[in-house]
Amino acid sequence: MQYNTFTFLGLFLGLTLLAYYVTPLKARWGVLLGASAVFYVLGGRQLILIVALTTAVIYLAARRMEKISATAKAQRKLLPKEERKAYKAKMSGKKRRVLAAACIFAVGLLLFLKYFNFFGSSLNTLWEKLHLSWEIPYLHLLLPLGISFYTLSAVSYLADVYWEKYPAERNYFKLLLFLIFFPVIVEGPISRYDQLGSQLFEGHKFDYYKFTSGLQLIVWGLFKKMVIADRIDGFVGVIFGSYGDYGGLAVALAILLYTIQLYTEFSGCMDIVTGCAQLFGISLAKNFEQPFFSRNVNEFWRRWHITLGAFLRDYVFYPISLSKFFQKLSKGARKHFNEYFAMTIPAAVALFAVWFCNGIWHGAEWKYICYGLYYYVIMLAGMLLEPLFKKICAAIRLNREENRGFHAFQVVRTCILVGIGMLIFRAENLRAAGKMFLSLFDKEAWRSVGFFWDVGMNPYEYLVILIGVLIVLYVGIQNERKILVRDRIASRAAAIRMTAYTVGVVAVILLGAYGPGYGAVDFIYAQF
């Protein structure tokens, strides 16, 4: 059941809203749990049992860690001072073992179901080259709906309880709701318990502003998904699917359009699910913030898939870079090298872990791992060369923060680097990505424009895409200036508001890429 279908928006969501608002406040979280369970069963069938089992392990582990902490605090007060440090270390070790066991279970289940065949086939290829007769069998494994997303939410919950940021949830079914809440289970955003949990459980009264704001977001998301992203899909599919027949301008345009497609589809999905949550009075974490206005790749990833980046920062980068081992290593490096080098060592290692995890999280293929490591190389190079850049800018008296021309150069440079990353991400495999990249330097191919009519698209469709992209660009520019177009429309007279809303709905109905001649386009990030 896709978010952009009448079955979801008209039937499932409508019935859930009706049930939610006629149920007493304290019991409304039960409606959300029931609806989420139904949604999950319709999408994942019996695999909901795997989610239920994972939730049980996470629930018991969190409660156990909380109990260990409470016992430790109570017992320490009764012990002599000289024994307290050793006792604290002993109890901390117990908590770490519980945390490790639960994380190994949750992440191990993800690794087994999603990556077993990938690593198995890779090892089989290696052993074949070494002339070994070993073979790992291929397993027909089913992947639970949203496992890549709810596993990260579960790990963040466990880590936060371990760090005592908040108490463990005492109700198993409330924790289950947090992990499978239907607007976020398919594509995120990746939720934090302290940000989402209380909103799910407290029950909300009907709020006209939030409700209408949610409807606006849903329509805006549908516009981006159905009018722009789905219409682009045909062009991108032909060029990437038959890349050997194209080069130069065709490949460059395919990369550009795929970048637009992925952004409008993924951010459009976030708008739809955020709008759905707002209908219930619930606010979700922001996942996009005008990423294509970024001045460097680091900033781009602070604006693109924000919740994934935040998870990797808080639960991978910081734990590694601030670990005792790297603290000691940095301390030793300061004695023999300079401060900058001492700080770079732990950051470089932690960044590698972050970008390896980012890449493989997206899919069980080598191209995704290389996609992540591509950004690692760029960021590491930028980090290592930063002292040189500072000296050059000082020598030529260039203010990197205030010079508008340099700002524009940085934005264009970042978009080009991101485009190369998108090529790796979308290409059939690494070999195809390499061939497509090299074809960009074919001068003859840049003179050919016949491909415009070979991909099954007509001038009308190109015009719709262009107008749609310009509208999204305009809204993005306004948002970058801290001017919210939705708020400006909402502040106008009722007649103007209704006209704007009607135009949005009609645009989706009339211009959306669906019906005869169009195949249903699945959400790209749903596969991850």
CA distance 12 to 311: 30
Q: Residues 90-107: pLDDT tens digits?
A: 888 999 999 999 999 999
Residue 158: inside a domain, yes or no? yes
Instruction: Compute the average pLDDT of residues 40-59.
Output: 91
Domain boundary among 156, 184, 203: 203
Say if residues 268 and 224 touch (Cβ distance below 8 Å). yes
Q: Are residues 51 and 195 in the same domain?
A: yes
Q: Are residues 198 and 213 in the same domain?
A: no
Q: Are residues 139 and 219 in the same domain?
A: no
Q: Are residues 87 and 181 in the same domain?
A: yes
CA 492 to chain centre: 34
Q: Are residues 72 and 108 in the same domain?
A: yes
Q: Are residues 381 and 441 in the same domain?
A: no
Hunting for tokens 């409660």 — which residue is that?
63
With cut-offs at 50, 70 and 90, classify the pLDDT of residue 518.
low
Dump the DSSP string for 123-163: HHHHHHHTT----PPP--PPPPTTHHHHHHHHHHHHHHHHT
CA distance 115 to 143: 10
In order of 74, 401, 407, 411, the CA distances from 404 in angstroms are: 60, 8, 5, 11
DSSP secondary structure letter of residue 304: B
Structure tokens at 355: 């970008």
Structure tokens at 365: 């293929």
495: pLDDT strictly greater than 90: no
Residue 497: inside a domain, yes or no? yes
Q: Are residues 318 and 422 in the same domain?
A: yes
Domain boundary among 162, 182, 203: 203
Q: Residues 277-292: pLDDT tens digits?
A: 999 999 999 999 999 9
Helices (H), 280-323: 297-303, 306-312, 318-321
Q: Are residues 215 and 170 in the same domain?
A: no
Residue 11: inside a domain, yes or no? no
With cut-offs at 50, 70 and 90, classify the pLDDT of residue 519.
low
82: pLDDT strictly greater than 70: yes
Residue 6: inside a domain, yes or no? no
Q: How far apart are the first and last CA of the chain?
A: 16
83: pLDDT strictly greater than 80: no
Residue 45: inside a domain, yes or no? yes
Helices (H), 4-80: 6, 13-22, 28-44, 48-76
- Please give the tally of structural domains in the chain: 3
Residue 258: inside a domain, yes or no? yes
Domain that holds residue 93: 25-203
Residue 152: inside a domain, yes or no? yes
Instruction: Compute the average pLDDT of residues 411-436.
Output: 96
Q: What is the mean pLDDT of the chain?
A: 91
Which pLDDT score is estimated for 174?
98
Q: Are residues 355 and 375 in the same domain?
A: yes
With cut-offs at 50, 70 and 90, classify the pLDDT of residue 507.
confident
Q: Are residues 46 and 180 in the same domain?
A: yes
Domain boundary among 426, 447, 480: 426
Q: Are residues 187 and 253 in the same domain?
A: no
pTM, rounded to two decimals = 0.93
Q: Are residues 410 and 495 in the same domain?
A: no
Residue 323: inside a domain, yes or no? yes
DSSP, collapsed to helix, strand or coil, labels residue 288 as: strand
Q: Residues 181-196: pLDDT tens digits?
A: 999 999 989 999 999 9
